[in-house]
Structure 1
């Protein structure tokens, strides 16, 4: 009974739930929890950021986030049971072209992982920076000042007395720190320019005290006398520009002196570098450099050396072999004892300074023919180099082969040849297929004789001639190596007993003295090769070695490995052997 009652109750509950679902609206049962934005106030603010914005809507969670143009704002509170967000705008990070009046950006609220975009955009308008104070109100190069104000933007530029501060530190929209650059002494204006090009000028002047310049190094530290040399002076507190007022108006703030001579075309490239041209000084030696900045001097002793200024006016002769060893005369001026001479990258080892105007030098060998510059270098570093039309030219012989006679021969070598051509120098070498011809004789500049070297490969081969100065010539396929093709016509007799060791005569063609004869795998002895007069045939006589009964191949092998084979020579059993066997 109880079970039946419980079952009826459950059915009643289910029916009630079904009824409620059928009569109530869906948004009553399933509440929409996604955030909604109904308004933004104010709808604009400056690029400096920090504008307090009120966003109204619903379903804002306590940890909701807000982005303006993709950049996070700083949410200070979520109020009204999730219907109000108070947020500070971030500074504008995008480009701001000159003349731009506003930049609309989207506003996105993220709540409980759900994003929603405001129906209206927020407009960034130009910042309105202001300076309230600068402390301290006086200083010199390297000092740091603090600028208090409002609507400063990270990346702001600070200019003091018309010169950019070398380092600006953005603290927040109300505070900037800046390092004072090197300037001429006096009262200076300070200007702050935000990235959106909005500028504010501090009208109460900043007093700049004279800074002390310094010199750390000079590059290059040498240059020739009677010549203007462009150099760089490195240090600190160098000031660019001209005086704008007073008795020095129009004069440079920074001046450079080499001893008592003033430098030319002074350019303060940065606060740490001066570029200046040396005056034309005629006396060699080390000079101090003095940099005067706004009346304050920095001096570096022995900072620049004026060195010799040699010249080259003539080279005679102006060409010679790549082998070197040619004596040439160099004329010019200001040649010092111990002078070095270079031909391209090669230093001459034998240099004779005759006077300050004449040098005799033996040319060093050079790897390749062609023109190279000649450079003389004095012991103090002064140097001179030949001009384009006065360079020295290394030359190389140009041998040529016109013929090789005969132009073919055996692979075993030993063929007497005559090579004709031109420009064969003493010490010349000859190669056939890369193999040197030994005992080569140079008859004259147009004729060489020698014997061909052995070569295991038959065929046409290049002939190359090489002079001692590496001048060479290649005659393609200039000599052909051949291999004999012997042929056996007949063998008499073509049989004998196994122990007879008879003399046999092999008639054929192209047998060469020194040929080898085998019957089967055994060598014949007393081999002799004879030519038949009035015939192209040759004869070999040879003594048959002992053998085994049966037919055996005869092989003739010439010294150049040309071969001929004959089938067959027959060995028979001797009568004595048969008798012993009782046959």
Structure 2
């Protein structure tokens, strides 16, 4: 509006006075930055064309006016992490306040797991500090397939595809950037197949278990290292080296335990170039056949002699081991006796027999690992 000066000598027009609207801020981009400052911050709002200074808490910096709705400013340094109010002073007045956060530089102290396949897709956990506002994660210079900062100390990311070998991990936050050298190892995927022979087998028969470990296309090469076999019968696993892509062990099952077929697992433990993998097979184990031999002593006996009957139970090859359970021993004319096997034998004593020829029998009743069998003999009393 025009400005007029009036005196006793008259009135004169001296110029114009402009009323400027009060400035207002609606957005600050980015809303966080490093403690050391130096990054460019964009302030968006209205009536900013006459901006003179920008306040970051108690610090003052001078803006570059882009338009009435936008100014750029270099963030000043701060004494430490924290949030400060930001406002603009223009010829028209002082704006409202927005919040700006000074963020500490990030650090990464642990990556778990530290290896994965070259095809990517491994979910890794990054542990450290200053991670809450992460804006980017790269593995081997390639952006992670996805990532999420769950707290100031934890990020979960999914690896992208990569080349075999070690890869750096870089995390970018408003507070800065951290790179952990060789933090993740890309490995060629492996596949493990397990076979067993003979199948079925019987209790005590040696079974050969073979794990075949191979690279998964497009990978190539021969995996080395070890394979751990779990036989599925509760016995201790066994670890054996891989040679020429094969790992072989021999195992004899000591019983069916009601669990046949047993699930065999072969776990390849990986090496510097190949990921771990596992495969399974099933092994059927049947009860081994047995033979039962029986003798009576003394034989011949007199009418006053007690007679001792002894049964010996043994497996039939290729079965092996020591049968357990009970044997029912009998002599014609006497009450049968059922006796427990001890180290494969069972013994019972019978009262004296009358003169004549008597039938002696031993019936092995079997157990979880060995099938039943029977034996006979003749006891003579002259």
Normalised by the length of structure 1, the TM-score is: 0.35
Deviation at 1:348, TM superposition (A): 3.9
Deviations 1:383-408 (A, max 9, x none): 1111xxxx2223333247899999xx
Q: Does 1:311 align with 2:200?
A: no
What is residue 336 of structure 1 aligned with on the other side?
223
Deviation at 1:271, TM superposition (A): 2.0
Change (3 A) 1:295 1:362: same
Q: Does 1:282 align with 2:163?
A: yes
The secondary structure found in structure 1 opposite 2:137 is strand
What is residue 211 of structure 1 aligned with on the other side?
104
Deviations 1:166-216 (A, max 9, x none): xxxxxxxxxxxxxx9889x9959xxxxxxxxxxxxx952233335311112
The secondary structure found in structure 2 opposite 1:436 is coil
Deviations 1:479-504 (A, max 9, x none): 9xxxxxxxxxxxxxxxxxxxxxxxxx
Q: How does 1:453-492 map to 2 (within 5 A)?
A: 453-454=347-348, 463-465=364-366, 471-473=369-371
Contiguous gaps of at least 5 residues in structure 1:
1-137, 143-179, 189-201, 241-252, 441-451, 480-512, 514-529, 532-583
Q: How does 1:418-429 map to 2 (within 5 A)?
A: 425=319, 429=323
What is residue 265 of structure 2 aligned with on the other side?
373
Greater RCO, CA 8 A, separation 6+:
2
Deviation at 1:412, TM superposition (A): 6.0
1:141 touches 1:182 (CA, 8 Å); kept in 2? no
Deviation at 1:220, TM superposition (A): 1.8
Normalised by the length of structure 2, the TM-score is: 0.50
1:413 touches 1:453 (CA, 8 Å); kept in 2? no
Deviations 1:323-349 (A, max 9, x none): 574334433413433333323575445
Q: Does 1:398 align with 2:291?
A: no
2:106 touches 2:130 (CA, 8 Å); kept in 1? yes
d(CA) in 2 for partners of 1:228 and 1:316?
33
1:398 touches 1:423 (CA, 8 Å); kept in 2? no
Change (3 A) 1:204 1:338: closer
Deviations 1:403-433 (A, max 9, x none): 9999xx9996643769899999456646532
1:181 touches 1:271 (CA, 8 Å); kept in 2? no
1:347 touches 1:364 (CA, 8 Å); kept in 2? no
Deviation at 1:291, TM superposition (A): 0.3
1:258 touches 1:288 (CA, 8 Å); kept in 2? yes
d(CA) in 1 for partners of 2:347 and 2:108?
74
> Paired residue for 1:301, among 155, 162, 181?
181
Contiguous gaps of at least 5 residues in structure 2:
1-30, 36-79, 88-94, 216-221, 328-338, 352-361
Deviations 1:3-22 (A, max 9, x none): xxxxxxxxxxxxxxxxxxxx
2:225 touches 2:270 (CA, 8 Å); kept in 1? yes
Deviation at 1:260, TM superposition (A): 1.3
Whose radius of gyration is greater, 1 or 2? 1
The secondary structure found in structure 1 opposite 2:182 is strand
d(CA) in 2 for partners of 1:366 and 1:280?
44
What is residue 130 of structure 2 aligned with on the other side?
237
The secondary structure found in structure 1 opposite 2:97 is strand
Q: Does 1:270 align with 2:151?
A: yes
Q: How does 1:99-498 map to 2 (within 5 A)?
A: 204-240=97-133, 254-283=135-164, 285-294=165-174, 296-313=176-193, 315=195, 317=197, 319=199, 321=201, 323=204, 325-334=206-215, 335-344=222-231, 346-348=236-238, 351=241, 353-354=243-244, 358-365=245-252, 369=260, 370-380=262-272, 382-386=275-279, 391-399=280-288, 414-415=308-309, 425=319, 429=323, 431-432=326-327, 433-436=339-342, 453-454=347-348, 463-465=364-366, 471-473=369-371
The secondary structure found in structure 2 opposite 1:373 is strand
The secondary structure found in structure 2 opposite 1:280 is coil
Deviations 1:31-88 (A, max 9, x none): xxxxxxxxxxxxxxxxxxxxxxxxxxxxxxxxxxxxxxxxxxxxxxxxxxxxxxxxxx
2:227 touches 2:266 (CA, 8 Å); kept in 1? no
Change (3 A) 1:325 1:348: farther
In terms of fraction of residues, the more helix-rich structure is 1
d(CA) in 1 for partners of 2:106 and 2:343?
77
d(CA) in 1 for partners of 2:183 and 2:151?
20
1:310 touches 1:333 (CA, 8 Å); kept in 2? yes
Deviation at 1:231, TM superposition (A): 0.9
1:341 touches 1:348 (CA, 8 Å); kept in 2? yes
Deviation at 1:270, TM superposition (A): 1.3
Deviation at 1:236, TM superposition (A): 1.9
1:239 touches 1:268 (CA, 8 Å); kept in 2? yes
Change (3 A) 1:418 1:347: closer
Q: How does 1:502-521 map to 2 (within 5 A)?
A: none
Change (3 A) 1:272 1:424: closer
d(CA) in 2 for partners of 1:412 and 1:182?
101
2:263 touches 2:281 (CA, 8 Å); kept in 1? yes
d(CA) in 2 for partners of 1:327 and 1:291?
49
